[in-house]
Structures are given as structure tokens and as C-alpha cells.
A and B are shown apart, each in its own frame.
Chain A
Amino acid sequence: MKAFSASGSAKGMNIKMVKNKNILNTDYLIIGNSAAGLSAAENIRKNDKNSPITVLTKEKYSNYSKPLTTYYLAGRLEPGNLYFKKSNFYEENNIDLKTNQNVVSIKSSDNLAITEQGNQYLYNKLLIASGGRPIIPEIRVIDKTGKTLSLDEAMSSVKGIFTLTTLDDAIMIRKYINEYSIKTASILGGGLIGLKAAEALLGLHLNINIVELSDKLLSASFDETASGILIEAIKKSGSSIYCGQTIEEIYTENNSINSFKLSNGRKIPSDLLILAVGVLPDTGYLKNSGIKTDAGIITDSRMKTSIDNIYAAGDIVKSHDVLSGSDKNMAIWPIAVKQGEVAGSNMSGIDTAYPGGFLMNSVEILGMPMISLGQSSIEYDDKNKDLKVYKSHDTDRKIYRKIVVRQNRAVGAILIGAIERAGIYWGLINNNVDVSEIGENIVKEDFGLIQLPADYRKHLVVGEGIEV
């Protein structure tokens, strides 16, 4: 890997300055210091011991896990404990991390990434793993005098309205709660991030309002029963949930939010609002780069973009969903890690395919563990006549299990309460296993490997050493 570095790659001297003092030369440039970027960097280093690897992040932090930020919000973890790679990770892998470097454009014809801070990074291979940005819905923000702003404009000027996708967001929210002794907080959006925020705020003993457009919480993965169990538990904690509603107007006083109006006209007092309606691939800065995007970066199965030496991975990518066969945004941690791994391998010369993935999540709210996998919200109906849906619901023990089978293959699962062996279903879905022999045992609480088809059990353990 010689490429543009006229200077070799002595340890600690990864970046050589060429031409002028603002052009920095590296072999592997990675934009994004998170799940996808770092798993790629680690994999590149496994295959290529010497070439310089440079990781850029626009944030000031050296390493933290986004999913852990709600644990910080809840007061369960301090900022120093949010890392997911140990502090010696960069040194051990000889990775040059540059914080506070916000890439504003990519000149792919010159192999250059340009940052707001005035640096230009000359690369041989580039990985774009810069994730998503929070969606800001269109809501009018009105003050006492009737002056109206768009929510987008109000984000920077009105106090008490936040998004929650970075550690800085979480720090600002926690500070706001403490500074103004907030007792009631509202969350717009009952998806994964909204619920994780809710879990954190419930842990701080705040009263919460959740406003969700759909008639269910976690609507992408939960069915009515699962959502119902969750809604009941949250309501029991003294909080309110407004499903089938959105926020129409936000009212402010002294430049701070004090209430909002739902679509049904109801006015709700609130001095804190977290916007959690979703994230979108943040592709704005790629506009003139020549990299093909369509609601996310388009890649091939090697995670390569439309430009030969540029790869992409994680939340910024339009990913292949193996269950629907289509491509969509699947902004979850395990997918980002896997794609990063694949991109890293290919960038460092080991040909590897990304097989695609499917959505899943695991959250625990009010002591109730909940896992959903794949196409879990669907039901047998006119549109889905090829489905077999197995369910078991123990209302006393708050245990709900649902397994969705399409044409003899498991395609989805919801487990609430009894989640222990959830991964077995992940394996069945992932490996496209014929589950017809298992019948309704598949949904039972004591379902285990012992009920699996013998040939799958054998396949599972090839090289891993169970003799069956």
C-alpha cells in the first residue's frame, strides 16, 4: 500500500504533509469514529499491519457509544464510561484519530476530503461511516406575541427543545433537567430512540408524555399486543402516551418551550421536549462528490460506492434487507459493525460480501426486557396469506411471545419478558432454516436447540464442536 505516501509509515508518523501545510496524506481515510468506522479500522489493521489509517470525527470526544448516551442521561453511567473501545485501542492498532474535523466536501477526482477546519486529507481509500442526522419535523413554534418560527429555526434559539443522537445532546438535556429542575418531559416519537429516552427519564423519576403518530409504540416492530403491554406499563408509572397524535404547535415563553398542542387540539404543558422521530442518512456534504445516493449511500455487496476507491458503511448507507429483498435504511448498531467489518476487509484486499441484514432491537423498559427480530409486526391477513403466526401470551407473568413463519422460514419474532433464548430465532432467520418440523413448539418458552432440525443443529455446530 504505497499510493500517495512518499514517506513510508513509521509508527506515530502516519500523516505526512505534502504540497502545503494543510494537506495531510494517508492511505486509509475513515470519516466517522463510531460503530462502523472503528470496526472497519480494526479489520483493516488485521490485514494490513503498516499502512497509515486516519479516522476523522467532527465531535470532540475520542470514543463513545451512541446507544450508551441514554444510560448517561439516566445517570447510570458517567461520560468517562461511555467508551466501547478501550482508550489504548487507537495506539494498539496504530490508528491516527483526528477529533474536531468536520468534513464538508469530498473531491473524489483528487482523492481529497476537506474539513471545515481548513484541512485537506489526501487518501488512497476512503470509508464514509458518518452516520445519520436527526429528522426535525415541521412544527410551528409560536411565542406569546404570536411570532412564529419553524422548528428548524427554533432549534438554535428556543430553549428546552432537543434532539438526542449525540453525547453532546445527552449532556445538554441532563444539564437542562438539573438546571431548571424539570419534572415533566415530553418525547415526540415512540420508536427505539424515543423509548430509550423514555426509559432514561423514567429512571430519573420524571413524568413523561410520549407522542406517537402511529397507533402503536415501536410501530415498526411491535404488534398491537406487544405495544399494549408496553403502553400499560408506562401508563402505570404515571406517564401519559398519546398515540395516533402528533405535535401541531409548540408554544414558548421567555424563549423557552412551555407547552404544545396535539393534532386533536389538546394542549399539554411541558418544559422539555425531545424530538425522536427518526434519523436519516446525513449525505448533504456528499452532494458534489459524485457518490451515488438515494436516501442513503448506494453500495454494492462489498460496501463499495459508485466510486472505485470509496466505501461506505453504517447508518449512512441504504442497506440490503434480506427479509424483504429491498434496500432501506436500517440504523442499528449490529448492522453498522458488520458493514464496517466487511468494508474494512475489502478495502484491505480481502474480498468479502455483506449478505444483508434485518432490523432488530432489544430494549428493557421498567424492568421488562423486550426483543424484536425481523418482520415481527405483521399478522396473518388477506395480504399475508402465506404466514403462520404463533403466539403465546401469559398476562399474569407479562410474557408475550410471537413467532412469524413465512413459507416454512422464520421471518420475525417478538419476545417480551422471557427473552433468554432469543438468539436462536435470530439464527433461524439468518440461516433461512426450514422450521416446518418444529410446528407450534417454536413459540413455547422452553423452546431450545434440542427441537431444531437435526441438520441445522449440525450446521450450527460445524467447526464449533457439538457432536449430534
Chain B
Amino acid sequence: MKKIFIDEQYCIGCRLCEIYCQVKHSKSKKILKAFREDQPGTLARVLVEEIGSNSFAIQCRHCEDAPCTGACISGAMAKNENTGVVICDEEKCVGCWSCIMVCPYGVIKRDIKSKKVASKCDLCFDEEEPVCVKNCPNEALKIKEI
């Protein structure tokens, strides 16, 4: 499967990945609307951690043995056996946050803007390349087949 690799030393903490991710997962897919108008709004599924000049972006690692899927009480969080991508079926999700409780990377967010759902990286399965990777100006994110 494909995985996103994170190169901490190249990350400049610009958070463009967060912005592109949020727009990509918004209703309108337009930057201004996504941030100001869309109802319900959406969240970025990648997050940048930063202390001083040290920073990196992190999103779901699509774990081999994913704790979030085993904790999910509704079956919403599941790994696609063919692609390896772990996806939350937002229709099925009940917002119990059991997945948040066990994700060792802390990359699932509570989306409570309309129905409560767990919001996380879907590896932009419908794009050629995840938008965070594509739009990182410094190649701190790379996607590789492993």
C-alpha cells in the first residue's frame, strides 16, 4: 500500500497541509467558502505539531494492526483489506470516541459541527496523491509505495 512519509527536518511549520486538507474535505472545495461559509464546516485531518523551530505534520498512519478499528463499537472504523486504508464511515459512526481513546498518534478529531463523527485522514483515496503531500512546499511529506 501507499504510505505518507514525514520528513521532520524539512517541515517549516507553514501549515499549508492543514489548509489544503480542510479545503479538500469541505463541501464547496473552495478555500474562502471552506473557511468562512460552508455549513457544516469541516476539519483538517492532518495536524502540525510545533515547538520552537521544530515541527512536523502528522496524519493517520493507516496502521497495520490498527487499534482504532478494534475499539470501534459501531464497525464504522475499518481497514480496507485491499487498499490498506483505514476509513471512518461517517454514516455509521456514533461519535463515542473509543477510537480517539486508543489512537497512539492522536490523529482522530471530534467533528461535532453537525452529527458527531470521528474525523480522520482518508489518504485522499479519490485523488492521485494526498493533497497535503502535493501542496507541501518543502517536500516534508512524501508518499511512497511500501
Identify B70's interface contact among A334, A364, A430, A465, CB under 8 A. Answer: A334
Min distance, Cβ B73 to any Cβ of chain A, angstroms: 4
Q: Is the CB of B56 within 8 A of A426?
A: no
A362 to B68, CA, bound (A): 13
Identify B75's interface contact among A65, A373, A423, A451, CB under 8 A. Answer: A65
B102 is an interface residue with CB less than 8 A from chain A: yes
Q: Is the CB of B104 within 8 A of A68?
A: no
B49 is an interface residue with CB less than 8 A from chain A: yes
Q: Is the CB of B106 within 8 A of A423?
A: yes
B132 is an interface residue with CB less than 8 A from chain A: no
Binary A-proximity of B47-78 (CB < 8 A = 1, otherwise 0): 00111001110100101100110111111000
Interface residues on A, range: 35 or more
Min distance, Cβ A357 to any Cβ of chain B, angstroms: 11
B15 is an interface residue with CB less than 8 A from chain A: no
A356 is an interface residue with CB less than 8 A from chain B: no
Q: Which of B56, B64, B98 has the most CB of A within 10 A?
A: B98
Q: Is the CB of B110 within 8 A of A423?
A: no
Q: Which residues of B contact A333 (CB under 8 A)?
A: 71, 73, 98
Which of B18-26, B33-41, B89-97 forms part of the interface with chain A? B89-97
A449 to B146, CA, bound (A): 24
Q: Which of A338, A422, A423, A466 has the most CB of B within 10 A?
A: A423
Min distance, Cβ A27 to any Cβ of chain B, angstroms: 23
**A422-B106, A423-B106, A449-B106 known; A463+B70 contact, CB < 8 A:** no
Q: Is the CB of B49 within 8 A of A448?
A: yes
Identify A76's interface contact among B51, B75, B94, CB under 8 A. Answer: B94
Q: Is the CB of B3 within 8 A of A424?
A: no
Which of A80-88, A111-119, A305-313 forms part of the interface with chain B? A80-88
Identify A77's interface contact among B3, B63, B94, B144, CB under 8 A. Answer: B94
A42-87 residues with Cβ-Cβ distance < 8 A to B are 65, 67-68, 71, 76-77, 81, 83-86
Q: Which of B70, B73, B101, B102 has the most CB of A within 10 A?
A: B101
Min distance, Cβ A399 to any Cβ of chain B, angstroms: 14
A374 to B71, CA, bound (A): 15
A33 to B54, CA, bound (A): 49
Q: Is the CB of A334 within 8 A of B102?
A: yes
A200 to B19, CA, bound (A): 37
Q: Is the CB of B98 within 8 A of A466?
A: no
Q: Is the CB of A451 within 8 A of B97?
A: no
Kindly report which residue of chain A lies nearest to residue B104, judged by CB atoms. A427
A433-468 residues with Cβ-Cβ distance < 8 A to B are 448-451, 460-461, 463-468
A86 to B110, CA, bound (A): 24
Q: Is the CB of A426 within 8 A of B70?
A: no
Q: Which residues of B contact A337 (CB under 8 A)?
A: 70-71
A375 to B10, CA, bound (A): 39
Q: Is the CB of A362 within 8 A of B63?
A: no
Q: Is the CB of B101 within 8 A of A360?
A: yes
Kindly report which residue of chain B lies nearest to residue A77, judged by CB atoms. B94
A338 to B75, CA, bound (A): 14
Q: Is the CB of B61 within 8 A of A369?
A: no
Q: Which residues of B contact A364 (CB under 8 A)?
A: 95-97, 116
A369 to B96, CA, bound (A): 8
B16 is an interface residue with CB less than 8 A from chain A: no
Q: Which residues of A contact B101 (CB under 8 A)?
A: 360-362, 371, 373, 419, 422-423, 426
Q: Is the CB of A68 within 8 A of B94?
A: yes
A341 is an interface residue with CB less than 8 A from chain B: yes
Min distance, Cβ B41 to any Cβ of chain A, angstroms: 17
**A341-B70, A362-B100, A465-B4 known; A423+B94 contact, CB < 8 A:** no
A76 to B7, CA, bound (A): 43
Q: Which residues of A contact B54 (CB under 8 A)?
A: 450
A421 is an interface residue with CB less than 8 A from chain B: yes
Inter-chain pairs besides A67-B73, A450-B56, A465-B3, 4 sampled, C-beta below 8 Å: A362-B98, A362-B100, A426-B101, A466-B58
Residues in A lying within 8 Å of B, measured CB to CB: 39, 65, 67-68, 71, 76-77, 81, 83-86, 333-334, 337-338, 341, 360-364, 369, 371, 373, 419-424, 426-427, 430-431, 448-451, 460-461, 463-468
Closest 5 pairs between A and B when the two form their complex, measured CB to CB: A427-B104, A421-B106, A84-B75, A423-B103, A67-B73
CB-defined A-B contacts under 8 Å, sample of 16? A65-B73, A68-B94, A77-B94, A81-B92, A85-B75, A333-B73, A333-B98, A334-B70, A360-B101, A364-B116, A371-B100, A420-B100, A464-B3, A464-B64, A465-B146, A466-B61
